Homo-oligomer: A and B are copies of this chain.
Amino acid sequence: MRRTSLKTAKCPVARTLDVVGDWWTLLIVRDALKGVRRFGEFQKNLGMAKNILSARLREMVAAGIMEMRPAEDGSAHNEYHLTEAGQRLQTVLVALRQWGEQYLFEPGEPMMMAVDRDNEQPLRRIELAARDGRALTSADVMVKEGRAAEPAKSSRRVSQRAR
């Protein structure tokens, strides 16, 4: 029942949580962004029960976040690859990551860090900004009724059928 109500919500936060609101899903995306491709690797890295992992991956493929491909080395294993939509969840992961870095670690505590591959420096902190670039705080943001953009974006949408 909750699934239905979130899926058709007018709020994009709610709809997104319908797709990725299970924390396993975001941890799977995290590992896929690091280059994990195979069922056994996900299972080992995440320590998940096979049946739960299997269900999550199936849902992610159905939602258009992941796709299955034959293994690149020609072996019998299938590989799971993030679609473009799945890769774009990186912003969600970085926002979660930076919040955790700020609030959930002791100074000097060992921590996995997301860095720029070029120079291994941490990423710029995500800040909210207006269209013209002005920095915004949470108090500067309000929510109002509107409509989804009309044009070109539609080609990038996740299939509604698949959801």
Enumerate chain A interface residues (CB-CB to B < 8 A). 5-6, 10-17, 19-23, 26-27, 30, 33-34, 47, 64, 85, 87-124, 126-131, 133-134, 136-151, 153-154, 156-158, 160, 163
Contact = CB atoms under 8 A, between A and B. Distances in A.
Nearest to A112: B11
B12 A17 contact: no
A96 B129 contact: no
Given A47-B5, A124-B131, A144 B95 contact: no
Q: Is the interface of A mostly helix, strand, loop or mixed?
A: mixed
Given A12-B111, A111-B147, 19 more contacts: A10-B111, A12-B96, A17-B27, A85-B99, A91-B126, A91-B128, A95-B95, A102-B157, A104-B158, A106-B160, A107-B151, A109-B148, A113-B144, A113-B146, A116-B134, A119-B130, A124-B129, A124-B130, A126-B126
Contacts of A10: 110-112
Nearest to A124: B129
Given A26-B17, A109-B147, A116-B130, A92 B99 contact: yes
Given A17-B96, A100-B13, A114 B91 contact: no
Contact of A92 (B87, B96, B134, B144): B96
Query: How many copies of the chain does the oligomer comprise?
Result: 2
Contacts of A120: 142, 144
